[in-house]
Chains A and B, each alone.
Chain A
Amino acid sequence: MYKLINNLMGELSSIHRISDDAFIPLDPGNTDYQEYLAWLAEGNEPLPADD
């Protein structure tokens, strides 16, 4: 499962992969981000960012 992380302006800034407590950047060259995008494409939804 993933959770969205926003920056101070409320913009999406990284993805928290809860299973191993890793923080994934929004970079198409990052293999973990590629896996996240594939996970999204399967119809999954991440947990929303904290307010």
Chain B
Amino acid sequence: MALTDIDGVRLADNAFTLGKNLIINGAMQVAQRGTSSTASTYGTVDRFRPSYASGTVTQTQQSLTSGDPYDEGFRYFLRTTNTTAGSDDAAEQREIRQYIEAQNLASSGWNYTSSTSYCTLSFWARSSVGGTYYVLNRSIDGTSQGYTFSFELTADTWTKVTHAIPGNSNITVDNDNGIGFQIRFLTDLGTNYTDSGHTLNTWAAFSDSSRCPDFSHDWAGTTDATFDVTGVQLEVGSVATPFEHRSYGDELARCQRYFQVCIRNEEFVTACVTSSSGANTGLAFVNEMRAAPTITLATAGSSAGNVAFLTTGGGTPSTIGSHEALSITTYGFRFKASGYSASGWTSGAATNVYGYSTATVYTASAEL
């Protein structure tokens, strides 16, 4: 039975649906990579991918201490700061994206091929530069489709934005682990990517040179301009319901399908010696990942932050060789040492692997 009335207050049927928010980390709580980065890709807040060209942008996870979104329970936001203005106006690009896994969208309940079925995007935004901003929603499978809508911001003022997006018969979403939708906050784009004749609020075949109409402001040309966003929610239905606040642990687990970091101190796993100079062990991820991930390893060595396979007596080897990750699956990988000179290393012996002064043993990225 549909739930529509509690204590006389009418509510949308999905107001209390668990897992209704298709956006992961929409409250910007989780930042496994760190809290500040100049990368034009994932660098701070998990699942959100700033993308820029011409000039430089700094992305930061910021604490929220007051204001309307604070009163709704948000404690963090993602900020992009225009550190260096673009030198090529036409080529400027300033976006923040989240890529939604296709099977999550396919099984969401949104009849995305029907023009009478809706999903609704809601979020809080603030910019130091007032003006008209855009959100581009792009499907990927089949013939890629785009749907852009605008929203207005007054300088330095948090604004709650909601927009219902209809389905369209041209949308294709495969039931797989690839990209289903891109949600792209367009802070500023040069004319290489805009079209004065672009039609808002309608689906059309995606064109990279027509992501939205021309911008009337110049965020990318304003040094130290800021754009803030939090409380991002995409839900099935034509009504924006209250944000689905999740615990930090719940949100972290969702993020770890796409990115994980393993930080350990001292002995953290036992390995098997395979020769006088080599050893192997297996490392498992905390959750199964979306796809087999790309692995980066801590530097092999004995300085702070390094990792080394120890002698069988538990000491630091006289020569620490090199490390590799191989046989990588969605569940874990083989961690291999070679080129070592270590006391007690004979084939079949056991030894431990050691993180010096809290080492980032590995990062694993299966991002979309």
A interface with B by C-beta (< 8 Å): 5-7, 13-14, 16-17, 20-27, 29-32
Q: Which residues of A contact B366 (CB under 8 A)?
A: 29-30
B297 contact from A7, A21, A24, A27, Cβ within 8 A = A21
Q: Are the CB atoms of A25 and B296 closer together than 8 Å?
A: no
Rounded to whole angstroms, the CA-CA distance of A6 and B327 in the bound complex is 9
Rounded to whole angstroms, the CA-CA distance of A27 and B177 in the bound complex is 12
Rounded to whole angstroms, the CA-CA distance of A15 and B203 in the bound complex is 40
Q: Are the CB atoms of B295 and A23 closer together than 8 Å?
A: yes
Q: Which of A20, A21, A25, A29 has most B Cβ within 10 Å?
A: A25
Rounded to whole angstroms, the CA-CA distance of A13 and B255 in the bound complex is 26
A25 contact from B177, B178, B292, B368, Cβ within 8 A = B292
Rounded to whole angstroms, the CA-CA distance of A25 and B333 in the bound complex is 9
Rounded to whole angstroms, the CA-CA distance of A21 and B291 in the bound complex is 20
Q: Are the CB atoms of A29 and B297 closer together than 8 Å?
A: no
- The distance from the CB of A37 to the nearest CB of chain B, in whole angstroms, is 14
B interface with A by C-beta (< 8 Å): 177-178, 290-297, 324-329, 333-334, 365-368
- The distance from the CB of B243 to the nearest CB of chain A, in whole angstroms, is 29
Q: Are the CB atoms of B294 and A23 closer together than 8 Å?
A: yes
B329 contact from A6, A21, A25, Cβ within 8 A = A25
Q: Are the CB atoms of B326 and A29 closer together than 8 Å?
A: no
- The distance from the CB of B356 to the nearest CB of chain A, in whole angstroms, is 18
Q: Are the CB atoms of B296 and A14 closer together than 8 Å?
A: no
Q: Are the CB atoms of B327 and A30 closer together than 8 Å?
A: no
Q: Which residues of A contact B294 (CB under 8 A)?
A: 17, 22-25, 30, 32
Q: Which residues of A contact B324 (CB under 8 A)?
A: 5, 14, 16, 23
- The distance from the CB of A45 to the nearest CB of chain B, in whole angstroms, is 20
Closest A residue to B368 using CB positions: A31
Rounded to whole angstroms, the CA-CA distance of A21 and B301 in the bound complex is 15
Rounded to whole angstroms, the CA-CA distance of A13 and B325 in the bound complex is 9
Rounded to whole angstroms, the CA-CA distance of A9 and B295 in the bound complex is 21
Q: Are the CB atoms of B295 and A29 closer together than 8 Å?
A: no
Rounded to whole angstroms, the CA-CA distance of A6 and B336 in the bound complex is 11
Q: Which residues of B contact A30 (CB under 8 A)?
A: 291-294, 366
Rounded to whole angstroms, the CA-CA distance of A16 and B368 in the bound complex is 20
Q: Are the CB atoms of B326 and A13 closer together than 8 Å?
A: yes
17 A-B interface contacts by CB (under 8 A): A6-B326, A7-B327, A13-B334, A14-B328, A21-B296, A22-B294, A23-B296, A23-B324, A23-B333, A24-B328, A25-B295, A25-B333, A26-B292, A29-B177, A29-B291, A29-B292, A30-B366
